[in-house]
Structure 1
Amino acid sequence: MIVRQLSEIVGTEHDVDTDTWNSRRLLLKKDGAGFSLHDTLIKAGTETEIWYKNHIEAVYCIEGEGEIEVIGEGTVYPIRPGTLYVLNGHEKHLLRGKSRMRMVCVFNPPCTGTEVHDAEGTYPIMDN
């Protein structure tokens, strides 16, 4: 059994902070669950271009408001507490935080804990 507290992750290498988001990685590839689980804060007034071509991500909003725009389609979906979206088609998208949003994110394949988006907005597949 794995039991962790968010307070154990904050301030470690698995608390990844960027200009537009802060992802606290609670469950990682090394844990062997087959997915990773992240508690992520999207910063207010930000926009991030993302393309998870190597992962499927499920996101559940528990706090704040924003929107996701599918690039190439122009379709925009509002995000507020209770909203779930799943990028099961590896959709390239813009994520906008109108206010600070808190999201629970699940990745398959699982992340190792230190990933950041590359120039394409992608997380690489990492072996460790």
Structure 2
Amino acid sequence: MIVRTLKECQNSERRVVADNWESVRMILKDDKMGFSFHITTIYKGTETHIHYKNHLESVYCMSGEGEIQVVGGETYPIAPGTLYVLDQHDEHYLRAKPGTDMVMACVFNPPLTGAETHDASGVYPLVD
């Protein structure tokens, strides 16, 4: 059994910080669960270009408000209780409204190893 708290993960190398977001990676590839689980905060008033060419992701908004805009497609509002699933490796922009951080619970398949950040194309590398 694996038992971890968000607080202990925040105070470890499992917390990864970038310009527009931070991600606390509570379950990673080394845990051998077949997925990774993260609590990610999208900083207020920011826009992040993301394109997970190597991963599928499910995201549940726990707090804050913003939107997701699919490149060449629709824009969807995000608020607490909203779930979106990037099941087609959807290239998108994720935006948090000014004045409100968005806190999201995220699941990745295949799992992340822990230190990944988006490259210039918004991609996480695939690590075997």
Instruction: Indicate whether the TM-score tops 0.5.
Output: yes
Output the CA distance in 2 between the equivalents of 1:12 and 1:68. Answer: 29
> Are positions 1:21 and 2:21 aligned together?
yes
Q: 1:5-38, CA deviations, whole angstroms, 9 ceiling, x for partnerless residues?
A: 1111113221001110000000000000000000
Output the CA distance in 2 between the equivalents of 1:72 and 1:11. Answer: 39
Q: Percent identity?
A: 59
Output the CA distance in 1 between the equivalents of 2:5 and 2:65. Answer: 25
> Are positions 1:83 and 2:82 aligned together?
yes
* Number of residue pairs the alignment of both structures matches: 126
Stretch deviating more after TM superposition (75-84 or 11-20): 11-20
Q: Amino acid of the residue matched to residue 33 of structure 2?
A: A
Counterpart in the other structure of 2:45: 45
Q: 1:21-65, CA deviations, whole angstroms, 9 ceiling, x for partnerless residues?
A: 000000000000000000000100000000001000000001000
Output the CA distance in 1 between the equivalents of 2:52 and 2:84. Answer: 13
Unmatched runs of 5 consecutive residues or more in structure 2: none
CA RMSD of aligned residues (A): 0.7
Counterpart in the other structure of 1:95: 94
Unmatched runs of 5 consecutive residues or more in structure 1: none
The alignment partner of 1:72 has SS state of coil
Output the CA distance in 1 between the equivalents of 2:28 and 2:46. Answer: 26
